[in-house]
Amino acid sequence: MNNLVIFRGGGDVATGSIQKIHRVGFKVLILEKAKPLCIRRYVSAARAISEGYAEIEDLRIRRAENMEEIEEALQAGEVPIVVDEEGAYIKKLKPLAVIDGILAKKNLGTSRSMAPITIGLGPGFEAGNDVDAVIETNRGHDLARVIFDGRPSENTGIPGNIQGYTSQRILRAPASGQIHILKDIGSRVEEGEVLAIVGDSEVKSGLTGMVRGMIADGSEVFEGLKIGDVDPRVIKTNAITISDKARAIGGGCLEALLILKRRLDNADRNLN
């Protein structure tokens, strides 16, 4: 059986799982949309779609345009990423596993028929129905728990608590239009400071801290869209390293993959 794992989505949370699974020796391919709207851009594999290449800690991601370029990246020990929102490469390559890391809070088309192993990250999936396993993404006691039967927690809409701050950390577009960034990732900011402008509307920080996530300058946004976040902890390396949450989810994702692979291997041996 091949050891190719295809990820749907390359945002910051998925990147924590991509790193772990690639590190232990699986080949990884990422499928993304043409214009991903990443907030934590510096730690999102998806940035390679617009930049052509990205390096996140020890992970090297390269945009590929065809099968030849995918193979070249894999041979070089890199992780190729392609524009393929519909999953055409899943049918072409017949991977060992498909992992949905889009985190859309709903299933955008992933099914157990796609691969011998299917895993979903977060709400929107039911283990045993549309995927083989789901990884809990909600902060708290069950974060990164592997679920083989049933659903994870529903989306609460409430950001994780950091030093007593929850919704104050989140930046949302006040209007629809093109965004102009004034304070990008890594900038220290004060409560009430203007961080970006959409049309004639200002985006102000809800607290004093550091911009940890910010959508790319010039992106087209719609009113209410999450466009960034401010961290009350001013630790520069937090902006360029994979988060604790993403690493934990990555551990759960790798655990699920190895358990499900062992089950398949045992089933194959029993057949022989």
What stretch of H or E contains 239?
A: none
pLDDT at residue 165, as a whole number? 61
pLDDT at residue 267, as a whole number? 86
Q: Reply yes or no on whether the pLDDT at 99 is more than 80.
A: yes
Give tens-digit pLDDT for 122-162: 999 999 999 999 999 998 999 999 999 999 998 766 666 67
pLDDT at residue 167, as a whole number? 82
Give tens-digit pLDDT for 234-248: 899 999 999 999 999
pLDDT at residue 50, as a whole number? 94
pLDDT at residue 144, as a whole number? 96
The percent of residues in the chain predicted with pLDDT above 90, rounded, is: 89
CB 162 within 8 A of CB 210: no
Confidence grade of residue 268 (pLDDT, cut at 50, 70, 90): confident
**Residues near 101 by Cβ (< 8 Å), separated by ≥ 6?**
7, 8, 9, 10, 11, 13, 14, 17, 18, 121
